Amino acid sequence: KAGVTQTPRYLIKTRGQQVTLSCSPISGHRSVSWYQQTPGQGLQFLFEYFSETQRNKGNFPGRFSGRQFSNSRSEMNVSTLELGDSALYLCASSREQDREQFFGPGTRLTVL
């Protein structure tokens, strides 16, 4: 069974630009969560999508947004990038009633 895949693996952007990251969950998983990982703040929850609806949201500004498609694939978008947005963005998927989350390898975003 294929794991969670994230594309692209690496991105370099400049301040003010926007970026879209993609996540394909494990087949059959309908919940997709996004986390931001930085050395200073650790792993922080961004949002969770389930059946195309945002079910949970963390404490991030509105520049961070996401969506989920009918095939459970998810995208997150960051607009007006800031230097502090440089981070590893992790996507995790899980089944409806299962608490176990499977993480992808992440997308390393660098903002210059």
- For residue 24, the one-letter residue type is S
Give the C-alpha separation, 52 to 95, whole Å.
14
Classified as helix, coil or strand, 105 is coil
Give the C-alpha separation, 51 to 4, whole Å.
17
CA distances 23 to 20, 31, 35, Å, are 10, 11, 12
Minimum CB–partner distance for residue 52 and another protein (Å): 14
Question: Is the Cβ of residue 50 or residue 73 nearer to another protein in the bound state?
Answer: 50
**42 is a site residue for another protein (CB under 8 A):** yes
**From candidates 13, 20, 22, 45, binder to another protein by CB under 8 A:** 45
**8 is a site residue for another protein (CB under 8 A):** no
Q: Which two tokens stand for residue 90?
A: 């992790």
Dihedral angle sign, alpha carbons of residues 84, 89, 73, 68? negative
Question: Is the Cβ of residue 38 or residue 80 nearer to another protein in the bound state?
Answer: 38
**110 is a site residue for another protein (CB under 8 A):** no
**From candidates 21, 48, 76, 78, binder to another protein by CB under 8 A:** 48
Where does this chain bind another protein (CB under 8 A)?
A: 4, 31, 33, 35, 42-45, 48, 50, 55-56, 58, 90, 92, 94, 99-106
